[in-house]
């Protein structure tokens, strides 16, 4: 072999050393003897971290793999135990003796991983800072962002010390389970094992996985790593999911007379008749949502006249979820604005709470705060960078002074506001009086008397008109969809950030549903 690689060599008594090797087994053996000061007569056996023997045939292949490989050597007279050094410095040392690597079978059922639990408990006990953070998180009932960063950096460094910089997926999963066991408030309640914040099998975005990737980037900056593409589980939840249609396409003529009656009924005096006609034509709109959502406005012109139609249509679609937001948001928003700085003290959140949140009324201030907690995600090289949070705010809500002509608002409407947008009018942002929606540059009246109801209608409009969430607002809308409205809870693909924030806000969510 032409390239030289680093190999991490360890022994249960003599510790660990990094040794360079070009794949020549005899030279590697000689280097091990020299580095660890072993006699030529010593009979040395090499195994990998799982206990499989490494001989002269296997060694060149093992060294050629990406990353720093872990090789354990044993001497004939030594007992087959693997010592894991858990010390933080040279003055304080503590060691655990575990079964030899070959006996630490990952065939043991995934669960807590007692060995990892012991290691983490010792890590916490030996470091006063880490111990203080863990106890603080336990008392608060959540892991704030700053604590999360410190703990993950510390815990993953311990994982690397024990298992190398490329631990197997099953090892990462066991390690995540052990962390959740010693810090239960890091558990994600929306999955069977509750590991998603730390280890996510689908999106690979767990905190452990993210930290390991970052370490690999640092270690291999000069190497071009071609990672295998994994098939991501396709989300089947949300407002514009295209489902298979077993029924025949709706015939426009079948509904023509009903639609004519609906469009000809007076919006002011015929509300009950309108609701009856809306119900009778509901299946036609289901078909339109699946085939051509833009045509809804062509057929059903009353959406432009009747302020109750979005709410009523959503009640036909998601009856069990129709009041969830308006029932819980007033309490949730109040508690969120008070407690947010406890679990996120980033400069952006701190600045927003200090300088901007007081400019808006409570409901909108909390919505924008949630946008700071779950900021727009980067969209990839081909899709442009993430939008700034302040720009993302304007993609959601547009404020105008009372008296601003509605026609002038539409005439100057930005092309960037492609998805449903809430228009708020008032003397200032804290005293809002009138609310409208703009969907496909069409102004729609809504039956909202306050900003909480207005936000509710904005969310519901995505479902009524089968509109995708704006890519910069997906995090906030998915959070509301799953954790407030309780829609498609088990079908919606959530990012690690959404799961992490939901875990931090678990207490507030529970309180807002009770009150």
The stretch 286-297 carries a mean pLDDT of: 90
Q: What is the pTM of this model?
A: 0.68
Beta carbons within 8 Å of 321's beta carbon, 6+ residues apart: 485, 486, 487
Residue 248 vs residue 313, higher pLDDT: 313
Higher pLDDT, 265 or 223: 265
DSSP per-residue string spanning 382-412: GG-PPPPHHHHHHHHEEEEETT--HHHHHHT
Q: What is the mean pLDDT of the chain?
A: 83
Residue 436's pLDDT is what? 98
Q: pLDDT band for position 129 (50/70/90)?
A: confident
Task: Choose between 52 and 400: higher pLDDT.
Answer: 400
Residue 291: per-residue pLDDT: 87
Q: What is the largest CA-CA distance in the chain?
A: 103
Query: What is the rounded distance in angstroms from the CA atom of residue 104 to the CA atom of residue 49?
Result: 10
> What is the pLDDT averaged over residues 398-413?
95
Domain 5-97 has CATH 3.10.20.90: yes
Who wins on pLDDT, 364 or 174? Answer: 364
Q: Give the pLDDT band of residue 78 (cuts 50, 70, 90).
A: low
Find out whether 49 and 40 touch, Cβ atoms under 8 Å: no
pLDDT recorded at residue 220? 62
pLDDT score of 184: 92
Domain residue extents for the chain? 5-97, 106-219, 321-514
Percent with pLDDT over 90 in the chain = 49
Inter-residue contact 348 to 389 (CB < 8 Å) = yes
The predicted pLDDT at position 219 comes to: 67
Neighbours of 332 (CB within 10 A): 23
- As a whole number, mean pLDDT of residues 479-486 equals 96
Of 22-31, 376-385, 487-496, the least confident: 376-385
Residue 65: pLDDT band with limits 50, 70, 90: confident
* Top-ranked range on mean pLDDT: pick from 73-82, 128-137, 436-445: 436-445
Cα separation, 495 vs 483, whole angstroms: 14
- Say yes or no to pLDDT of 85 above 50: no
- Lookup: tokens for 412: 């100057």
Across residues 296-308, what is the average pLDDT? 94
Residue 438, pLDDT score: 97
CB 437 within 8 A of CB 457: yes
pLDDT at 146: 87
Q: d(Cα 221, Cα 386) in Å, to the nearest integer?
A: 24
CB of 217 closer than 8 Å to CB of 210:
no
CA–CA dist 239, 124 (Å, integer): 44
Tell me the mean pLDDT in the region 139-168.
88
Question: Residue 242 pLDDT > 50, yes or no?
Answer: yes
The pLDDT value given to residue 89: 34
Contact 255, 284 (CB under 8 A): yes
When pLDDT is averaged across residues 470-477 and rounded to a whole number, the result is 94
What does the block give as tokens for 164?
């190398």
Q: What are the structure tokens assigned to 409, written together? A: 């608002």
Q: In what order do the strands lie in the sheet with 431-439?
A: 397-401, 421-428, 431-439, 442-445
Residue 69 scores a pLDDT above 90: no
Whether the Cβ atoms of residue 444 and residue 304 lie closer than 8 Å to each other: yes
Task: Enumerate long-range contacts of 417-420, CB under 8 Å, 24 or more apart.
Answer: 418/470, 419/395, 419/462, 419/467, 419/468, 419/469, 419/470, 419/473, 420/458, 420/461, 420/462, 420/465, 420/467
The radius of gyration of the chain's CA atoms, rounded to the nearest angstrom, is: 29
Q: Does 2 have pLDDT greater than 80?
A: no
Query: What is the structure's pLDDT at 382?
Result: 43
Highest mean pLDDT among 24-28, 33-37, 220-224, 360-364: 360-364
Q: Which of 172, 163, 160 is nearest to 204 (CA)?
A: 172
């Amino acid at each position: 072999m032409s390239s030289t690689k680093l190999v991490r060599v360890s022994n249960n008594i003599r510790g660990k050393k990094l040794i360079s090797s070009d794949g020549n087994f005899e030279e590697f053996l000689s280097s091990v003897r020299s580095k660890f000061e072993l006699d030529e007569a010593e009979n040395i056996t090499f195994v990998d971290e799982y206990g499989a023997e490494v001989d002269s045939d296997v060694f060149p292949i093992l060294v050629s793999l990406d990353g720093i490989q872990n090789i354990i050597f044993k001497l004939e007279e030594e007992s087959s135990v693997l010592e894991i050094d858990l010390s933080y410095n040279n003055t304080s040392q503590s060691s655990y003796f575990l079964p030899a690597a070959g006996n630490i079978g990952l065939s043991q059922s995934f669960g807590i991983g007692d060995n990892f639990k012991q290691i983490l408990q010792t890590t916490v006990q030996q470091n006063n800072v880490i111990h203080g953070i863990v106890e603080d998180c336990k008392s608060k009932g959540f892991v704030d962002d700053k604590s999360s960063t410190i703990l993950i950096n510390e815990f993953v460094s311990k994982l690397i010390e024990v298992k190398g910089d490329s631990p197997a997926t099953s090892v990462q999963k066991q390690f995540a389970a052990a962390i959740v066991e010693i810090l239960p408030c890091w558990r994600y309640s929306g999955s069977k094992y509750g590991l998603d914040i730390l280890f996510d099998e689908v999106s690979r975005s767990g905190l452990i996985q993210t930290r390991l990737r970052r370490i690999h980037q640092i270690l291999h900056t000069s190497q071009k790593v071609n990672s295998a593409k994994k098939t991501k589980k396709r989300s089947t939840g949300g407002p514009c999911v295209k489902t298979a249609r077993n029924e025949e396409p709706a015939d426009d003529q079948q509904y023509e007379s009903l639609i004519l009656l609906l469009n000809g009924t007076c919006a002011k005096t015929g509300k009950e008749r309108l609701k009856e006609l809306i119900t009778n034509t509901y299946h036609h709109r289901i078909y339109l949502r699946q085939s051509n959502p833009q045509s809804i406005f062509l057929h059903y012109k009353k959406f432009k006249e009747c302020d109750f139609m979005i709410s009523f249509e959503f009640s036909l679609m998601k009856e069990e979820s129709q009041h969830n937001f308006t029932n819980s948001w007033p309490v949730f928003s109040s508690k969120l604005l008070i407690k947010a700085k406890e679990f996120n003290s980033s400069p952006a959140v701190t600045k927003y709470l200090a300088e901007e949140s007081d400019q808006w009324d409570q409901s909108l201030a909390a919505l924008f705060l949630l946008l700071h907690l779950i900021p727009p995600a980067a969209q990839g090289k081909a899709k442009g960078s993430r939008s700034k949070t302040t720009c993302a705010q304007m993609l959601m809500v547009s404020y105008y002074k009372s008296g601003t002509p509605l026609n002038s608002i539409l005439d100057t409407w930005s092309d960037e506001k492609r998805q449903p947008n809430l228009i708020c009018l008032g003397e200032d942002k804290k005293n809002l009086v009138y609310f409208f929606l703009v969907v496909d540059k069409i102004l729609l009246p809504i039956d909202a008397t306050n900003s909480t109801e207005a936000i509710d209608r904005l969310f519901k409009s995505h479902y009524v008109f089968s509109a995708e969430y704006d890519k910069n607002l997906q995090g906030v809308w998915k959070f509301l969809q799953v954790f407030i409205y309780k829609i498609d809870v088990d079908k919606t693909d959530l990012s690690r950030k959404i799961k992490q924030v939901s875990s931090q806000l678990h207490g507030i969510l529970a309180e807002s549903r009770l009150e």
